[in-house]
């Protein structure tokens, strides 16, 4: 059944013994929503916990407080936040497949895996939906506002991405009124980079190839680079966005050399070139503005292949 925020608030009020699930490779939105919902339910006098997520990184460790479920907790009601499908459950949540009674989500692609669904696909962050639900019960306090702010701010790149709406800013304003330290959150998530990450970015700049007067950028991180810089997967996260910020670049290609003689390519394009068509020629695909493919071969071979593919699509 589809529930509005008001109906979801009532549905939750009528139940108890909550376990809240977050998604695989959890981000600030799923974690922030889970913690805020847990605190809100407890304020209603309920028993509520968040299922520990084995993929959670240290970036979020200071937010959990005492919300994490002990291993022997037996829930009566299982709720998921910001999870679009059961395929996105972390391993720890596998046993709850088919058992989620309420999914709260903002992904239009939600598969409807839960018995009840509270979906608002026009919201930039699931945190905006949680704010609507919690405020059906009471004004949020600073303890709930902090994780909700993390949710809303991280899913919008600190109000920078195109998903940011007037509602996103209104929710941020209301959350900040509670008085938590938003500047510290912003500093941690948006104004801090690791030394290794910055070395990776520097390496990319030193080895970048530009074509067509700078309209096409080819960037690569080799296995040798990774080893020399001691770069982990976390250090390489969303590295295509780094290349994509280059002024004047219309098509950016980020190449990561993988073990086993393969390269993984991420292609971002302006509206004059379809990235999905370009990657499709090499067995990949995705969206018109952002696609990917995997190529057998070395980095120079991958560069040659993607340039040939770009030229073919440009000429057609």
Report if residue 173 touches a copy of itself, rule: CB under 8 A: yes
Helix (H) or strand (E) holding 296: strand 290-296
Please give the DSSP secondary-structure letter assigned to residue 96.
Answer: G
Among 6-14, 33-41, 161-169, 262-270, the segment contacting a copy of itself (CB under 8 A): 161-169
Alpha carbon distance 306, 295 (integer Å): 9
Residue 62 CB, nearest approach to a copy of itself (Å): 15
Q: Rule CB under 8 A: is residue 230 a binding residue for a copy of itself? A: no
Neighbour count for residue 259 (Cβ, 10 Å):
6
* Cβ atoms of residues 258 and 226 within 8 Å: no
Judged by CB under 8 A, which of 2, 6, 194, 314 binds a copy of itself? 194
- In the bound complex, what is the minimum distance in angstroms from residue 197's beta carbon to a copy of itself? 8
* Residue 66 makes contact with a copy of itself by CB under 8 A: no
Name residues contacting a copy of itself, limited to 245-264 (CB under 8 A): 245-248
Residues in the chain: 316
Contacts of 48 (CB under 8 A, 6+ apart): 18, 19, 20, 37, 38, 41, 42, 67
101 close to 14: Cβ distance less than 8 angstroms: no
Question: Residue 288, interface with a copy of itself (CB under 8 A)?
Answer: no
SS3 at position 65: coil
Q: Which stretch binds a copy of itself (CB under 8 A): 116-124, 178-186, 262-270, 291-299?
A: 178-186
With CB under 8 A as the contact rule, the residue among 47, 190, 290, 298 that binds a copy of itself is 190
Q: Does 164 bind a copy of itself (CB under 8 A)?
A: yes
Question: Is there binding between residue 222 and a copy of itself (CB under 8 A)?
Answer: no
Q: Which residue, 165 or 274, has its beta carbon nearer to a copy of itself?
A: 165
Residue 137 is a binding residue for a copy of itself (CB under 8 A): no
- Which is nearer to a copy of itself, 15 or 199 (by Cβ)? 199
Residues 6 or more apart whose Cβ sits within 8 Å of residue 10: 136
Stretch that binds a copy of itself, among 64-72, 109-117, 187-195, 282-290 (CB under 8 A): 187-195
The verdict on 160 binding a copy of itself (CB under 8 A) reads yes
C-alpha–C-alpha distance, residues 272 and 263, integer Å = 25
Q: Is 61 in the site for a copy of itself (CB under 8 A)?
A: no
Phi, psi of 210 (to 5 degrees): -110, 140
Residue 64 sits in the site that holds a copy of itself (CB under 8 A): no
Between 100 and 146, whose beta carbon lies closer to a copy of itself? 146
Candidates 91, 154, 95; CA nearest to 125 is 154
Biggest CA–CA distance in the chain, Å, is: 65
In whole angstroms, give the CA distance from residue 18 to residue 151.
20
Would you tell me which residues interact with a copy of itself (CB under 8 A)? 158-162, 164-170, 172-174, 176-177, 182-183, 186, 190-195, 198-199, 201-203, 205-206, 210, 214, 244-248
């Amino acid at each position: 059944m589809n529930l509005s925020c008001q109906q979801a608030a009532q549905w939750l009020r009528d139940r108890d013994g909550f376990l809240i699930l977050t998604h695989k490779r959890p981000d600030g939105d799923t974690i922030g929503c889970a913690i805020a919902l847990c605190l809100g339910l407890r304020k209603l006098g309920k028993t509520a916990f968040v299922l520990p997520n084995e993929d959670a990184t240290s970036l979020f460790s200071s937010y959990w407080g005492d919300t994490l479920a002990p291993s022997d907790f037996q829930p009566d009601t299982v709720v998921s936040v910001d999870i679009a499908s059961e395929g996105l459950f972390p391993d720890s949540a596998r046993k709850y497949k088919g058992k989620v009674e309420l999914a709260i989500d903002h992904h239009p692609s939600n598969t409807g895996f839960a018995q009840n669904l509270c979906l608002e696909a026009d919201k930039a962050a699931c945190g905006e939906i949680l704010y609507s639900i919690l405020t059906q019960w009471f004004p949020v306090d600073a303890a709930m506002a902090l994780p909700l702010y993390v949710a809303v701010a991280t899913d919008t790149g600190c109000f920078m991405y195109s998903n940011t709406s007037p509602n996103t800013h209104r929710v941020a304003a209301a959350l900040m009124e509670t008085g938590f330290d938003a500047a510290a959150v912003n500093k941690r998530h948006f104004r801090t980079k690791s030394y290794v990450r910055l070395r990776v970015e520097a390496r990319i700049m030193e080895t970048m190839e530009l074509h067509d007067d700078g309209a096409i950028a080819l960037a690569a991180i080799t296995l040798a680079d990774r080893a020399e810089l001691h770069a982990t997967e976390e250090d390489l996260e969303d590295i295509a966005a780094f290349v994509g910020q280059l002024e004047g670049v219309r098509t950016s290609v980020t190449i990561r050399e993988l073990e086993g003689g393969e390269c993984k390519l991420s292609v971002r394009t302006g509206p004059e070139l379809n990235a999905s068509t370009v990657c499709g020629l090499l067995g990949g695909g995705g969206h018109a503005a952002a696609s990917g493919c995997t190529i057998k071969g070395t980095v120079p071979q991958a560069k040659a292949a993607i340039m040939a593919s770009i030229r073919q699509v440009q000429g057609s």
